[in-house]
C-alpha cells in the first residue's frame, strides 16, 4: 500500500541503524539474521501509523516500533524451535542455521532487548507502554502453551481455538496499535478502541494465515502443510470434524495422531478431506465476522473519515492474500 511506504522506509532505516552488531558475535549474529529475513513488518508499521494519525511525529514512535518487532521475532524464533520448523520466510530457521542452544539464548536476549527500546520514553508514557507490553507478552506465552496443549488433545472446541489465536497472535497487533495511539497522545478510551480493532483484525489475519499454511503455495516461505504435520488444531481441522461423515472423521482423527516420515501423503489426504467439507467457505465467514467487529470499533472514534479509512485500508491490506 502506497501510504505505508513512508512508514516502512522510516522503520527500515531505524532497524538498520540499530543492528545487533556487537559482542559476543555468536549471541547477536542470529538476532541480526532473523531480523534481516524480511517480512511485511506489519506490527511496527501499524504502531507508527497509529502514532502519526493520533497527532505525533511517527519518528517519536520508532523505539516502541522496534520493541514490538524485536519481541515478535523473538516469539517466532522460539516458536520455530518448538515446532521443529525448518523454514522461516523461505530461509533456514535460526536453530537450523546455527543450533538449538544458540537459538534459545539469542531469543532470550531479544526479549530483554525489546524492553530496552522502551527506556527512552518519559516516565508517564513509559509506564503506560510497559503495562500494555507486559500484558501482551504474558498472553502471547499463554497462547503458545495452549497451542502446544492442543496437539495432544482430541476435545478442543472452536471457541478454545479462537482464544488461543487471540493470545498467540492478535493481542500483539492490538498492543502495537494501542502503544502507537498512546505515544501519539490519544486518550485511553480511544486507544482502547484501537486495541480492539487491532485484536479482532489479528484474529481474522491468523485464520487467513492458517489457510495459507494448509492450502497456500510453498512460496509463502513456510514448510507446506506445517500445521497438518504438527497436528495443529486449527479452525480448518476443528470445523472439518463437524462437517464430514463419521468415516472421514475417524480417518482425520487417526491422521492427527501420527507423525509419519512421509509427511507429503498425510498432508495431501488431510487437504482432500478438508476440501470435501468446503471448510474454506466456513472459515471465510468467520474471518468476515471478526473483520466487521474490528471495523465497528473504528466507528466509535472521533476521527476524520480520511484517518479512519487509513485504518480500514490497513485491515483490508492484511486480509487481501488468497489461497
Instruction: Write out the residue range of the structural domain in which residue 107 sits.
Output: 2-318
Q: Is 109 part of a structural domain of the chain?
A: yes
How far, in Å, CA of 62 to CA of 120, rounded?
A: 11
> What's the rounded Cα separation, in Å, for the pair 258 and 274?
17
Residue 158 lies in a domain: yes
**Can you point out the beta strands (E) in 52-189?**
87-88, 91-92
Per the domain annotation, does 36 fall within a domain?
Answer: yes
40 in a domain, yes or no? yes
pLDDT in tens, 120-156: 899 999 999 999 999 999 999 999 999 889 988 889 9
- Tens digits of residue pLDDT in 206-240: 999 999 989 987 654 456 688 898 889 999 999 99
Q: Which pLDDT value is given to residue 5?
A: 85
**155 in a structural domain:** yes
Number of helical (H) and strand (E) elements in the chain, helices listed first: 16, 2
323 located within any domain: no
Q: Which ranges of 18-60 would DSSP assign to H, the alpha helix?
A: 25-35, 42-54
Asked if residue 12 belongs to a domain, the reply is yes
Cα angle 182, 187, 188; round to 5? 75
pTM of the model: 0.91
> With the C-alpha atoms ordered 241, 242, 247, 248, is the resulting torsion angle positive or negative?
negative
**Which CATH number covers residue 287?**
1.10.600.10
Q: Write down the pLDDT at residue 190.
A: 95
Domain count within the chain: 1
Amino acid at each position: 500500500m502506497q501510504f505505508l511506504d513512508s512508514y516502512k522506509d522510516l522503520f527500515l532505516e531505524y532497524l538498520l541503524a540499530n543492528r545487533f552488531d556487537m559482542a559476543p558475535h555468536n549471541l547477536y549474529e542470529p538476532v541480526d539474521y532473523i531480523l534481516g529475513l524480511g517480512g511485511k513488518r506489519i506490527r511496527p508499521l501499524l504502531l507508527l501509523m497509529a502514532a502519526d494519525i493520533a497527532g505525533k511525529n511517527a519518528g517519536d514512535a520508532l523505539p516502541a516500533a522496534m520493541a514490538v518487532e524485536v519481541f515478535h521475532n523473538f516469539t517466532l524464533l522460539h516458536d520455530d524451535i518448538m515446532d521443529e520448523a525448518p523454514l522461516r520466510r523461505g530461509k533456514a530457521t535460526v536453530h537450523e542455521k546455527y543450533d538449538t542452544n544458540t537459538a534459545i539464548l539469542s531469543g532470550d536476549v531479544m526479549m530483554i532487548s525489546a524492553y530496552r527500546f522502551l527506556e527512552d520514553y518519559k516516565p508517564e508514557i513509559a509506564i503506560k507502554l510497559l503495562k500494555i507490553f507486559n500484558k501482551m507478552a504474558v498472553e502471547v506465552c499463554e497462547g503458545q502453551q495452549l497451542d502446544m496443549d492442543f496437539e495432544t488433545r482430541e476435545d478442543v472446541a472452536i471457541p478454545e481455538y479462537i482464544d488461543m489465536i487471540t493470545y498467540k497472535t492478535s493481542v500483539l497487533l492490538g498492543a502495537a496499535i494501542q502503544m502507537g495511539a498512546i505515544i501519539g497522545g490519544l486518550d485511553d478510551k480511544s486507544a482502547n478502541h484501537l486495541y480492539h480493532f487491532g485484536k479482532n483484525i489479528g484474529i481474522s489475519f491468523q485464520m487467513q494465515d492458517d489457510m495459507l499454511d494448509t492450502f497456500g503455495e510453498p512460496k509463502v516461505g513456510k514448510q507446506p502443510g506445517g500445521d497438518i504435520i504438527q497436528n495443529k488444531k486449527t479452525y480448518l481441522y476443528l470445523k472439518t470434524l463437524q462437517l464430514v461423515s463419521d468415516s472421514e472423521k475417524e480417518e482425520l482423527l487417526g491422521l492427527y495422531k501420527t507423525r509419519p516420515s512421509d509427511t507429503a501423503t498425510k498432508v495431501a489426504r488431510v487437504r482432500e478431506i478438508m476440501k470435501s467439507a468446503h471448510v474454506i467457505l466456513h472459515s471465510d465467514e468467520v474471518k468476515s465476522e471478526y473483520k466487521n467487529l474490528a471495523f465497528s470499533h473504528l466507528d466509535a472514534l472521533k476521527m476524520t473519515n480520511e484517518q479512519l479509512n487509513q485504518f480500514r485500508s490497513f485491515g483490508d491490506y492484511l486480509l487481501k492474500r488468497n489461497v
